[in-house]
Structures are given as structure tokens and as C-alpha cells.
Structure 1
Amino acid sequence: MPGAKEKLTIRRVNTRNLQAKDSLEFSAMLNPAKYTRTSAVFYTEPQDSARGEERQRKLAKKAVDKLDLDELVLDGTGIVDAPASTGDVDAQVNLLRRVLNDPAGDANVVNAVVDVVWGTLVFRGRIASMSVNYTLFDASGTPLRARVKLSFIAYDQSGPMMGAPSGPQTRQIRVVAGDSLPLLCFTAYQDPSLFQAVALYNGLTTCRQLLPGERLTLPKLG
């Protein structure tokens, strides 16, 4: 509904068609106070040649982008207003691990590709690290509150984005629950910042709320 508070969502992605799997997602009980996006560039120093040519600093590669969520608070005290289906702290942690496909130390398991979506933030990647700090317990030792730190590495996809518009034609899509304009623009154009242009093209007065079943036109951009 208009004015509803948008929750940070971590949603599993099907790597075959790069569409979100609606049945497996985690919504934050409390949105984080901040997040950090980091990218770095690495260089190599080539060895001196036999001819004594001047050594040149050459770009080797650009490191993958990172996203760090410094603190997601999971609460089981009942103080925070949340749906009954949210469950206790252990249930919330287990759901988060399922969405992320946490290998629990098994190096042979590849973590799932997920979309981290909140407002204009759309980050597609895999979990690199997850730590859970339990800070409150009941008399039996059951966790009542936890603070989770997550670090993601961007998904390195080879080849063009599946379903991206090509040529001069436009195409129509049907909105499903959980879709947002930044997420749709990321999937179609690999650029979530184009959401305002798509909103204007479709005559939308708000970029926040999309109705399931609504049809949108994705124009050729750029």
C-alpha cells in the first residue's frame, strides 16, 4: 500500500533465466542503518625485459564488487512488529542460510546467486561471509536477538544478460510479487539506475509500488 515501509529483501535467483524465485526469499525484520559497496582495481608489475625497457604498471583486472551489510537485527522478543510467520531467531537464521545456500564450511558447495534489493539498491551476487552474533537469550538459553553481518561478492556473469532488450523493439513484461523497477531494470539492462527512465516511459507517477499482474513496457535504451 502507498507509504508502506519497504523491507530489505534477499531473494534467490534462478541462474538459468536470471529471474527471482518468489518462493525462497528473506525479508529483513529491521532495515540496516547502512550498507557499504566496495570495488577495487589490482595492478601487476611486469618483470624487466632483457632489453632493459622501462617497466610499466599495467592493469591486470578489476576486482569484483562487494556489498557489506554491517548489521541485520533479528528479533524474537515480540517487541518488533512482524508477521507471525517470521518465527523465532533460530528460524530466521535458518531461513537466511537456506536462501543464501550457506555451505556451512563445505568448500565444494557453490553458494546461490541472490538479489539484495532495497529501494534503489539492487545487488546480484553470492554470499562471501556470514556471521551471527547472538546478543539476548531467555532463561533456557534460547536466542531472542541476533545481529547478522553479511558480505556479498558480485555475480560474474559471462555473456549478455538473459532477456535484455535487443534491437529497436520494445518488449512487455508482467509484474510479479516482489518486483521493483530498479530490480527489473537491473535484469533487463544491467543498470538499476534506469528505473526513472522506464517509469517515465510507462507514465508511472511513483517508482516504488508495482502491482502484481501489471504490464510494463521495457523500451530500447541507450
Structure 2
Amino acid sequence: MLDGFLGKLKILPFSESENVQAALPSGPPFIAQFNPETFSVTNELEYAQEDPAHGDDGEEAKFKCIKPKQYSFDFLLDGTGATGEKKEVLAQIELFKATVGFFGPIHRPRFLMLSWGTFVANCVLESYTINYKLFRPDGTPLRAVISATFKEHKPKLLKELLKNLGSPDLTRSHDVKEKEQLWLVSYKEYESTNYYIHVAEKNGLDNIRRLKNGKRLYFPPLEQ
């Protein structure tokens, strides 16, 4: 981000699970009128629940899985013009709904990408609440806050890749040739540009723009 440039938090909608970040958005983006002052990321672990045997005072907490992350934001909408930017609150609420809500052609809410500076997350809307704070004499809202919670979304192929990256069964490898780029090598392996960052992490690369000639890269198979 350039010094002095205010990057707004954006929500981009996509209609296909596997093409988040790799295809054109399937609807209007929602751009925050004001960046949130804070946001929260919830990480939750799930443990198997077992009924204790008679007389026991406790059971072993057996790990089951890591649940999808939750991201929570408050979006302030202001139609008073007091901050120098005046927008119709009801119109902004409808834009938010159009971006994150139910999409007829896929019979479900859209898949989303949240983007703000270095924060990027693939997710779906889990819930939202609108708190109206100020009104015109006719009852039209002049200020509102949308409190929204999003659930992390990982496409099926990405989940399989991440699982296989942690497995010793690395069945495909590639020796880097001069001037090859990671995104292109990854695209040739997976026919997608979605996975090269994860491949870089698991191959211990500290520079994804400049690959060392002769470096051996490993590409686990994707289960179809």
C-alpha cells in the first residue's frame, strides 16, 4: 500500500467455490464507507465428546478437528455528510445484501473474498445484524452499523492440497529451470493459480518471485 493512500476494506462475490480469487467477481463489490476500527478472528478447536464412565471425574479431551475461522466486522454507514462523505444508508444496506446474500443461479449465498491491506480471506456470510442509530424526521435512517460475521471457506481442492502437503506421499516433483516462475509451474501442475502460495510455504521458499535454478519442488496430488 502506498504511503498516504487509504485502502478501503472490500467484499468481492464469486459464484463458484473453486474460482475465488481466480475469476471475475459475479456481482457488485461492497466497499466499506469507513474502515473498521477493529475486527476479530475467532479460532476454535473441536474435541470429541464422550460420556464418562460411572465414577470417573473426567475424560481425555480427544482432538477432533480445527473449525473454520470466523471473521467479525462492524461497518459504519453514515448519510449525514458530517464526515465529508454522504451516502444513502438504505442504498448501502441493499448493496451489502446484493454482494453477500442469496444468488439465484447457484441457489445459495455467494462465496466471498474479504480484502483489506495484507488481510485476505475466502469466506461465506454467516450472519449480520443492522443497528439503526439516527433518523430523518420521516423515519428514514441516516446512520447505521452492520455487524457481520463471516465463516472461512476453503475450496475442496485446496483442502485436499493442504492435507496432502502434510503427507510424506509426495508423488510429483519438478526441478526448477532458469527464469521459471512459481505461479506458472504451479499452474501447469494443477491447472489453477490458487495454490502456489501454499506450495511455496510447504517447500520452504522465502522468495516466490525468484526461484533458484535446480531447486526441486514438490507438488502433492489433488484428490478429485
Query: Can you give the 5+ residue segments of structure 1 that lack an aligned partner in the other structure?
Result: 104-108, 173-184, 203-219
Task: Verify the 8 A CA contact 1:45 1:56 in the aligned structure 2.
Answer: no
Task: From 64, 69, 72, give the equivalent of 1:65.
Answer: 69
Cα distance in 2 for partners of 1:12, 1:76 equals 25
Seq. identity, %? 23
1:134 aligns with 2:132: yes
> CA shift at 1:17, angstroms?
2.2
What is the TM-score when the length of structure 1 is the normalising length?
A: 0.65
Three-state SS of the structure 2 residue aligned to 1:99 is helix
Task: From 188, 197, 201, give the equivalent of 1:189.
Answer: 197
> CA shift at 1:55, angstroms?
6.0
What is the TM-score when the length of structure 2 is the normalising length?
A: 0.64
> CA shift at 1:140, angstroms?
1.4
Match of 2:83 in 1: 80
> CA shift at 1:48, angstroms?
7.2
One-letter identity of the residue aligned with 1:189: I
Three-state SS of the structure 1 residue aligned to 2:158 is coil
Larger Rg: 2
One-letter identity of the residue aligned with 1:28: A
Matching of residues 42-61 of structure 1 within 5 Å: 42-46=46-50, 56-61=60-65
> CA shift at 1:157, angstroms?
2.1
1:36 aligns with 2:36: no
The change in CA–CA distance for 1:90 and 1:128 in structure 2 (over 3 A counts) is same
> CA shift at 1:65, angstroms?
0.7
Three-state SS of the structure 2 residue aligned to 1:139 is coil
Query: Can you give the 5+ residue segments of structure 2 that lack an aligned partner in the other structure?
Result: 160-171, 177-181, 185-192, 212-216, 220-224
> CA shift at 1:167, angstroms?
5.5
Q: Structure 1, residues 106-161: CA drift from partner, whole Å, max 9, x if none?
A: xxx53211111111111111111111111111111111111110001111322237
Task: Verify the 8 A CA contact 1:11 1:21 in the aligned structure 2.
Answer: no
Match of 1:96 in 2: 96
Cα distance in 1 for partners of 2:18, 2:158 equals 13
Match of 1:217 in 2: none
Match of 2:189 in 1: none
One-letter identity of the residue aligned with 1:57: A
> CA shift at 1:102, angstroms?
4.8
Q: How many residues align?
A: 179
One-letter identity of the residue aligned with 1:39: N
Cα distance in 1 for partners of 2:90, 2:198 equals 35
Runs (4 or more) in structure 1 with deviation over 6 Å come to: none
Task: Verify the 8 A CA contact 1:122 1:186 in the aligned structure 2.
Answer: no
Cα distance in 2 for partners of 1:190, 1:123 equals 14
Task: Verify the 8 A CA contact 1:41 1:63 in the aligned structure 2.
Answer: yes
> CA shift at 1:45, angstroms?
3.8
